[in-house]
Amino acid sequence: MTKIAILPGDGIGPEIIDQAVRVLDALGESFEMERAPVGGAGYAAHGHPLPEATLKLAKEADAVLFGAVGDYRYDTLERALRPEQAILGLRKELGLFANLRPAILYPELAGASTLKPEVVSGLDILIIRELTGDIYFGKPRGVRECPDGPFKGQREGFDTMRYAEGEIRRIAHVAFQAAQKRDKRVTSVDKANVLETFQFWRDIVTDVHKEYPDVALEHMYVDNAAMQLVRAPKKFDVIVTGNMFGDILSDAAAMLTGSIGMLPSASLDANNKGLYEPSHGSAPDIAGKGVANPLATILSAAMMLRYSLNKAEQADRIESAVKSVLQQGLRTPDIFEDGTQRVGTQEMGDAVVRALR
Ligand code: IPM
Ligand code: MG
């Protein structure tokens, strides 16, 4: 039987995961779903943000549905024990190098964006972020005595930016193949004018592109990409970039759609096994209030069905149900506008379940 690891995490994580689980239950498939604590909840239960049993479950499951981690109660812990280490550890341990973050603007939500409707309406871009390399994981890193320059002898913090050829090749393949199923355009975002790592990135992406003559490739510096994303975001189709730039650009892209509460994500390994999570965080300020938007998590469950569980039809059903509740005018507070109906987390879940039938 298909096994799904359910990792709710912290803050609003448990509330939004509950709604996604209800939606999965309503599909009429027989999934085995097993829960385990992660993040601050993992630390509280087992003294570690990624408890061994949780990691084991994630490894043996066919897919992982993840809520969110992070809670200010744990911000004073040493870095290795902070909630964020859970998601970083899962990405690394499961080899989830390809992070897919679609940013789609539903026509009903065009008014929720802070950008003019004509700039964003119809937006449909896919950010592909490399997820297990770059300055996020590069070693050495730490705090040491500054070895040279005007501050020699003082303490300095440092990290290492690096990308191996194979790491760049595999993410480039993911991007070109994704583009083949869309508008056949890839923008590779780098900082080749300053960084050795990203000149190398540009050279390798250019080389991989030779295998995809049907896809158009353009290169763009990250600062320009940030500008273009808010100036003319619809010009993009697939954006591929490294871990650090992808972290930043994907938040910017998310906000184009008005609410980060709407955006799912998939993190895939080389065999399309994946971890699925909403693009937003744990929002501890609204946790437990029943107001969080569960749609990003519900849409993440749809991505899971499509990419890891080979059930595209069920994924379509969920995505249509989400569109239908938006058409009905139901809105959680993050996407509320005058003339729509304000609902809570549970009611939104109810509506999606109803719309599935
Ligand atoms: C994300 C988050 C994570 C990241 C944090 C929570 C470690 O911002 O998934 O974008 O930086 O990758
Ligand atoms: Mg981020």
CB-CB contact of 264 with 341 (8 Å):
no
The predicted pLDDT at position 261 comes to 86
135 lines ligand 1 (CB under 6 A): no
The predicted pLDDT at position 258 comes to 77
Atom 12, ligand 1: which residue's CA is nearest?
Answer: 247
For the cut 80, the answer to whether the pLDDT of residue 239 exceeds it is yes
The predicted pLDDT at position 107 comes to 86
Q: Label residue 112 by pLDDT band (50, 70, 90).
A: confident
Burial 255-265 (b: 16+ CB within 10 A, else e): bbbbbbbbbbb
**DSSP letter string over 174-236?**
HHHHHHHTTTSEEEEEE-TTT-HHHHHHHHHHHHHHTT-TTSEEEEEEHHHHHHHHHH-GGG-
Closest ligand by atom to 279 CA: 1
Active site residues: 136, 191, 223, 247, 251
Tokens matching residue 339: 């003339």
Residues 6+ positions from 221 with CB-CB distance below 8 Å: 189, 190, 191, 192, 193
252 lines ligand 1 (CB under 6 A): no
The predicted pLDDT at position 266 comes to 97
For the cut 80, the answer to whether the pLDDT of residue 302 exceeds it is yes
For the cut 90, the answer to whether the pLDDT of residue 110 exceeds it is no
Atom 6, ligand 1: which residue's CA is nearest?
Answer: 84
The answer to whether the peptide bond before residue 102 is cis (omega within 30 degrees of 0) is no
For the cut 80, the answer to whether the pLDDT of residue 299 exceeds it is yes
Q: Which residue has the tokens 């964006």?
A: 113
The predicted pLDDT at position 292 comes to 97
84 lines ligand 1 (CB under 6 A): yes
Average pLDDT, the chain: 96
For residue 268, the one-letter residue type is L
Q: Which domains does the chain have, with CATH numbers?
A: 1-97+269-357 (3.40.718.10), 101-131+163-262 (3.40.718.10)
Q: Label residue 259 by pLDDT band (50, 70, 90).
A: confident
